[in-house]
Structure 1
Amino acid sequence: MRPYLKFLSALADHNSKEWMDDNKKWYLDSREEFIEDVAVMLKGVEAFEPAMAAFKPKDCIFRINRDVRFSANKNPYKNNFSAYFSAKGKKVEWPGYYVHVQPGASFIGGGLWMPSSDVLKKIRREIDYSGEELKKILASKEVSEVYSGIEGEKLKTSPRDYDADHEFIEFLKLKSFILSKPISDRDIDSGNFINVALDGFQRMKPFQEFLSRAIEDVEDGSGIL
C-alpha cells in the first residue's frame, strides 16, 4: 500500500492530537509524499489550464486539521489528503479541480460546491440563457464516459424567478455544481490515479468553462470545494 494510504488508515483508527503528536514524523513524511504527487498533477493541469503555472503544490493542498466548532464530529483531523487546482487559488470562489485521497473513499471532482447566493444567481442566469449548451456538455462522449451528471444538493421547489415548468428546472434547482468520479485504492497505490485524475480533469474542462463564464466578474467568495 502507498505509504500515505497506510498513514491515513492508521489516522482513521487513532484520530487524536496525542496520536498525531506521537506520529508527527510519519505525518510529515506522508504529507511530503502527497505533495510530490500533487506536483506531478499540477504540472499536468498546467497543460490545459496555463494560469496554474503561477502556483506551487503547497498552494493547492488543504490542511488536515478540521474545524470542529460547529460539527458534531469532534475528531481533530480529516482522514484524507486533498488538493484543489483553481486558476484563482483554493481560497477564491472559482471553479477548479479537486483530488481527495482516503482509503476506500478516494475520488476526483470539480466545479463549485455550495456557491454563495450572488454566484448561484449568476450560474442560474447562465443556465436560463444557455441551458441547452450545458445539457450538451454533460451528454458529450468526453464527459459522459466518466461522469454520470451534476451532483449536489437541490431545492425541493423551483428557485425564485423561475417557473416550475422551465425546460432546465432540474439544473436550476441545484445548489452545488459538481462532477466526480471514485478512485480505487489500487489506482492510488500504483500511482495510476494521477493519470486518471488528469484525464478526468481535462474531460470536465468545458463544464468548468461554462461555470467560469457565468461568474467571471466575481472575485472572491467561499463556495470552493
Structure 2
Amino acid sequence: MSVVIPKSVFTFLNNLKENNHRDWMTEHKKEYLAGEKVLKQFYAEVEDGLNKTDKIAKVKIFRINRDIRFSNDKTPYNVHRSASFSRAGEDRRGGYYLRLEPGASAMAGGFWDPNPADLLRIRKEFEMDASEIRKILQQKDFKKAFDGFIEEYAVKTAPKGFSKEDLNIDLIRLKSYFVVHKFTDAEVFSEDFKDNLLHHYQLLRPYFNYMSDVLTTDMNGVSLLKN
C-alpha cells in the first residue's frame, strides 16, 4: 500500500510558521522527525515510480534549516518540505521537483538557472527554430497541466547578442525554463497523490527528451557526448 501523506505534516508546518524559532523546534522535534520519516518513505516511492519510465541518479531532500547568512529574514526554518529527483546520465537532462507546503504545494520540472553554456545553447536553438518547443508547450495535456514557462525569471528586453525584435524573444529572454503545477492540500492528503504526481512528471518527458537532444548536440546537430 502506498504511503499517504498525513495531515499532521501540514499541522506541524503551520505551527512552525507561527513559532519559527529554535526553542519551539527543540520542543517539537519528535513531531518533526515523525513527519520526516513518512516523507522519506513517500519520496522513495516516487523515486521507484519515476524509475519505471526514467532513470533517477539522486534524490535530494532539502534541509528544513534556512541559510540566513545573506538574508534579512533571520527565521531559522523553512515552512515547507521539498525534494528533487535528478536524472541519470549525460544524455538525460532536466530535473523533477516537489514542494509540500500548506496552501502552496506544487511540483515543477525543467531547467532552473542553467549554466551559461547551456543557457546560450537553449537560446540559440530557439532563435534558430522554436516550432518544436512551442508544439510541446501547446500539446493538449501539457497545456492543461502547466501554464507555460515561468516568465518571472527573464531579462527585460533581450540578452546580449540577440535582437529584441526576434519573433521568439519571449522564449529567448528567459533565464530559466521550468513549469509548475500546483496541488491543493486535499490532493496532497489523498490516497492517489503519488499517482497524480507521477502523472504530471510523466507529462514532462517529451519536453525533457527534446531539451536533452538540444543540450547534447551542437548547432549542427552533432552529438557532444563521448562514444
Q: State the TM-score bracket (shorter-chain normalisation).
A: 0.7 to 0.9
In the alignment, what sits opposite 1:212? 212
- Give the corresponding residue for 1:35: 40
The amino acid that maps onto 1:209 is: N
Tell me what 1:194 maps to.
Answer: 194
- Name the residue aligned to 1:133: 132
Q: Is it true that 1:60 corresponds to 2:65 in the alignment?
A: no
Instruction: Indicate yes or no: 2:14 matched with 1:19.
Output: no
List aligned pairs for 1:99-118, cutoff 5 A.
Answer: 99-118=98-117
Give the deviation of 1:171 after TM superposition. 0.2
Q: Which residue of 2 aligns with 1:221?
A: none
Residue equivalent to 2:183: 183
Q: What TM-score does the superposition give when structure 2 sets the normalisation length?
A: 0.85
8 A Cα contact 1:2 1:190, kept in partner = no
C-alpha distance in structure 1 between counterparts of 2:183 and 2:168, whole Å: 30
Residue 78 (str. 1) matches residue 54 (str. 2): no
Report which stretch shifted further, 205-214 or 4-13: 205-214
Identity of aligned residues (%): 32
Q: CA deviation at 1:130?
A: 3.6
Quick check: 1:111–1:211 contact (8 Å CA) kept in 2? Answer: no
Q: Count how many residue pairs are aligned between Structure 1 and Structure 2.
A: 208
**Contact 1:64/1:81 (<8 A) preserved:** yes
Structure 2 portions without partners, runs of 5+: 1-5, 218-227
Structure with larger Rg: 2
State the Cα deviation string for residues 40-86 of structure 1 (Å, max 9, x = none). 2111111221x21x54xxx3311111111111111111111111111
CA distance in 2 between counterparts of 1:130 and 1:76 reads 46
1:88 is displaced (CA, Å) by 4.4
Is residue 7 of structure 2 the alignment partner of residue 2 of structure 1? yes
The one-letter code sitting in structure 1 at the alignment partner of 2:38 is: E
- The one-letter code matched in structure 2 to 1:165 is E
Match of 1:220 in 2: none
Cα RMSD after superposing both structures: 1.8
Q: Which moved more, 1:123-132 or 1:150-159?
A: 123-132
Q: Could you tell me whether the CA contact under 8 Å between 1:183 and 1:193 is conserved in 2?
A: no
- Report Cα offsets for 1:90-121 as digits up to 9, x if no partner: xxxx5211110000110111112222322211
Runs of 4+ in 1 over 4 A off after TM superposition: none
Considering fraction of residues, name the structure with more helix.
Answer: 1
TM (normalized to structure 1)?
0.86
Deviations 1:128-152 (A, max 9, x none): 2341110000001131121111114
